Structure 1
Amino acid sequence: MPKITNGTAFATLYGQLGYRLIQLTTGPAIMLWIEVIQLRSSGREQASRAVSAFREIPFPNREKGLESIDLFQSLGPEGDLSLFIRWQGVFPLNGKSRLGFQLAAALSEFGQIHHCGWQRRDSLKKKKASST
């Protein structure tokens, strides 16, 4: 059994509560993760109704770790929309929050839904030009 450190104890506690956490040597990491809710509606009219419904949703300020909720429209099929829910913090094992389930259920009235969670694995950053 590995030696218990602060980060390990914290990760173990959250694991028992149903959350996954990546641990750094200095302790628990605060992760960036997103939920994606994809809507495939029957066409432009249904997609337009879904966008109108989205605009009526007040921002849920009480959701801990919630950064933003963005709605994107496909450049291809007119009826395809994707909702990106951006979080900072620990995430549920299945990658789906209570808020995500609620939004997916609300959007399901407008077509087929696919709901999944994503954790940032790595990133590429634009290098700043050096001033010489």
Structure 2
Amino acid sequence: MPGVEVLHPDGNSFDRFLFATVGEDRNGVSVTVVSALARLGLEPWNEAADLAALQPQAALARLDMLLSDFGDVPALEQDHGSVAAKLVSLLPEVLPRRVSVITGSTETGLPSVSIRWILAAVLLISGLLNLFASAWFG
């Protein structure tokens, strides 16, 4: 079975946020952010990364909206704003996410060169070398 670092390459950077408590459910069980996001049908680590990439006010607004829709914790009905503010302060600072025009996937970090461009460059250089070699040695 793959390790956590394979499933969540950001490692523990979101742990403080994801494993923070949002309150108790109707059965008195403590509910964490990871559980709340999963119950809302979201992938917790992706959502945490998306929130961390936002400006603090935008992250607060998004998390506040998500918590206001979460009916499993009764105390959130009145207090979702202050809980969201506390939780946003636990998010790590990360580089902004970009959306790839080609694949539609999100990427984080420094710009990277597409494997397609590398392959095209290698093929072009190889073709040019063959052309020059045949013209030179002919």
Relative to the length of structure 1, the TM-score reads 0.29
Higher RCO (Cα < 8 Å, 6 or more apart): 1
Greater share of strand: 1
Flag the structure with larger Rg. Answer: 2
